[in-house]
Chains A and B, each alone.
Chain A
Amino acid sequence: MSHHIVEARDLHYTYSDGTIGLQGVTFRITHGESIALVGENGAGKSTLLMHTNGYLLASRGEMRIGDAPVTTHNLNIIRRTVGMVFQNSDDQLFMPTVFDDVAFGPMNLGLEKAEVEKRVREALTTVGASHLSKRPPYRLSQGEKRSVAIATVLAMSPDILVMDEPTSSLDPTSRLNLIKLLKTFRHTKIIATHDLDMAMDLCERTIVLHEGRVVADGPTAELFKDTTLLHRSNLEKPLRMQQCPVCGTVDKLNNTNHRSHP
């Protein structure tokens, strides 16, 4: 299943106002991998994500999805393969009802009505939002909006999921539910985030961006031990890797057991 591969080869991107987005990003992500993309604000995370579905096209170098480079000619195939979940769900949910919104993608694929309905039902069931189907999106809570936003992407049955800050502005319970949900997905995942605890839960590999360049690429658990690296990227060790403020120990595996301190 080679089309699950995401490969960047020396990507460069400069915005029209001269702001430099990317200056030489190279990596290769293979089938079923889960990647956390971290870095300070303005490091180029979002710019990089927008290259994966061809919304931005590299000024130099190339982005490859599967066997094909991302160009204007194969945008349809690329966008069917790569599903993108945006940081602000209000931007993603533009249709009148949740049902219409989830159906938007499949309809654009030109599927039969019955097939569209089936996909919508399945996608909403997967994210546990079937009961919201008839509601208008702006009446939903942040957590519900995020679930529906993910369903809109799942309904296209993409091979690769790309997410921008999926846990931002969620309350702790919604955040945990989302992490549980994402764990069940078999897709190749690229998740841009500042939530390093989530990254530890979901992603075995992490790519650190800094000023439009890859400064580290490796196993998540290893990278997050590197305090200087995190510091330079305006990041902080995941909570569970920090010393417990009460007993002073570090417990990597379980971030809940220190709650039992008196």
Chain B
Amino acid sequence: MHMADALISPAVGGTMWLATAGLIAHSSKKVTAQGDDRKVPLMGVLGAFIFAVQMINFTIPATGSSGHLGGGMILAILLGPYAAFLVMASVLFVQALFFADGGLLALGCNVVNLGFFPCFIAYPLIYRLIVHDKPKQGRIMLASVIASIIGLQLGAFGVVIETFLSGISSLSFKTFILLMQPIHLAIGIVEGIATAAVVTFVWKARPEVVMPSPSDKILDLRGILLGFAACALIFGTLLSRFSSKDPDGLEWSISKSRLYSNSYQNTSSDRVKAGDE
């Protein structure tokens, strides 16, 4: 579900970068405050683990196609939300930098869609609520499946919103949302079952690693959401300025440079077309 640069406007990409930066700073502070030295190497190798896991496919039952694990949910279950978010962000950073997987402009969006939603929404509000403090196989299964589905639905919704706000894609909001949500419901169910299978496997062998640590309980969700809203507000203002009728600032330079590039390629032809309407 990596989002591509091509769908993102600089304003939306920038907002999400800012949100990502804020979340990384906040999570870093929390992880430091937890003071669990053990997590330092653990987070590192789990990042590498998620990277490796994303390369391994499984057959989706009753269909010919195959899927792979996203990883945000498993990380949150093993590490708690803050550390899991840092790990997910580091994986996406390296993927964007070396693999152009999604691209750099969209990196902020991808960190939010694939990191924020599973770690800070689906895990604390769904998984922890169902599993509570007494993990049992049935509960873990159910919680993993539902949390994965919801995490992925939110992520897909994030993609739709970010695309819509960017205004680059010509698809309408309604068409896009009707396209994205059902597909990701199917993917979410499959991913959820796979996640549940892996988590219960590990729970049977090493129950202590799946046990939620008490420090996860105090999740400062309000602070995170407030910061998020602030970022959106700042860039929303900028965004509306850009899309206003007056061609000022960035938009002006964009339309100008486009005119140039068009006229350059049209030196032989006189059919010069104007920039954006």
Interface residues of A (CB under 8 A from B): 16, 94
Contacts and interface: CB of A to CB of B under 8 A. Distances in A.
Interface string B179-209: 0000000000000000000000000000010
3 contacts: A16-B208, A94-B41, A94-B44
A134 B44 CA distance: 22
Contacts, number: 3
A16 B41 CA distance: 22
Interface of B: 41, 44, 208
Interface of B (DSSP majority class): helix
A94 B44 CA distance: 10
B205 to A, nearest CB: 10
B51 to A, nearest CB: 15
Which 3 interchain pairs have the tightest Cβ spacing?
A94-B41, A16-B208, A94-B44
Contacts of A16: 208
Nearest to A17: B206
Interface of A (DSSP majority class): loop
Contacts of A94: 41, 44
A94 B208 CA distance: 25
Nearest to B40: A94
A38 B180 CA distance: 61
B27 to A, nearest CB: 22
A31 to B, nearest CB: 33
A190 to B, nearest CB: 25
A243 B94 CA distance: 57
A94 B41 CA distance: 9
A16 B44 CA distance: 25
A16 B206 CA distance: 11
Contacts of B44: 94
Nearest to B206: A17
A1 B205 CA distance: 46
Contacts of B208: 16
Contacts of B41: 94
A207 to B, nearest CB: 31
A127 to B, nearest CB: 24
A18 to B, nearest CB: 13
B212 to A, nearest CB: 18
A162 to B, nearest CB: 20
A229 B44 CA distance: 44
B5 to A, nearest CB: 30
A214 to B, nearest CB: 30
A94 B43 CA distance: 13
A46 to B, nearest CB: 18
Nearest to B44: A94
Nearest to B41: A94
A16 B209 CA distance: 13
A123 B45 CA distance: 28
